[in-house]
């Protein structure tokens, strides 16, 4: 399925989200490397180390993000963004759960959308649709509405740390 393939009537939206195997590991690994992170590919069917939600969801341990071919791109970017918003000296202590801070969670959601624009075959629009399909919830009803009209605090958080925010 291409990133722009529309859903057929009756399709489960969460089953049609863009998966890492569809875009490959090279571009995401290069993107993560820019932030001092490593992307570790996990063999098909193997448990993903450091995955908070389990199943195909990405995992984090230290400065490494773990993912399989069936890992949703939004999950990879979300977990990587958790590590990116943390000061590097806090990363070694991370195992599975990066934060309990609402401020950091909001910055993470904003950053994952921004970073999606840097991945060929993904883009912000696709990522926000996938976030909605997967069940992310925002008080304005959608990832796009939140990102466009309610993410100023998240952008300020990212900007103050010299992280991508626009």
Tens digits of residue pLDDT in 114-146:
999 999 999 999 999 999 999 888 888 899 999
Does residue 166 fall inside a structural domain? no
Judge whether residue 161 has pLDDT over 50: yes
> Can you tell me the mean pLDDT for 20-30?
97
Instruction: Look up the pTM and report it.
Output: 0.90
- Residue-number span of the structural domain to which 114 is assigned: 16-160
| Cβ density class 68-81: b for 16+ within 10 Å, e for less | bebbbbbbbbbbbb
Number of domains in the chain: 1
């Amino acid at each position: 399925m291409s990133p722009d393939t529309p859903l057929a009537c009756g399709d489960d939206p969460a089953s049609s989200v863009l998966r890492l195997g569809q875009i490959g590991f090279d571009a995401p690994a290069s993107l993560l490397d820019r932030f001092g992170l490593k992307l570790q590919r996990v063999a098909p069917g193997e448990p993903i180390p450091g995955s908070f939600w389990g199943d195909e969801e990405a995992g984090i341990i230290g400065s490494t993000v773990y993912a399989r071919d069936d890992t949703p791109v939004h999950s990879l970017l979300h977990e990587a963004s958790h590590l990116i918003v943390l000061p590097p000296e806090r990363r070694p202590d991370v195992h599975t759960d990066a934060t309990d801070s609402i401020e950091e969670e909001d910055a993470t959601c904003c950053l994952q959308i921004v970073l999606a624009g840097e991945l060929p075959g993904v883009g912000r629009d696709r990522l926000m649709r996938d976030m909605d399909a997967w069940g992310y919830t925002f008080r304005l009803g959608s990832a796009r509405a939140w990102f466009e009209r309610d993410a100023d605090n998240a952008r300020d958080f990212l900007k103050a740390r010299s992280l991508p925010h626009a």
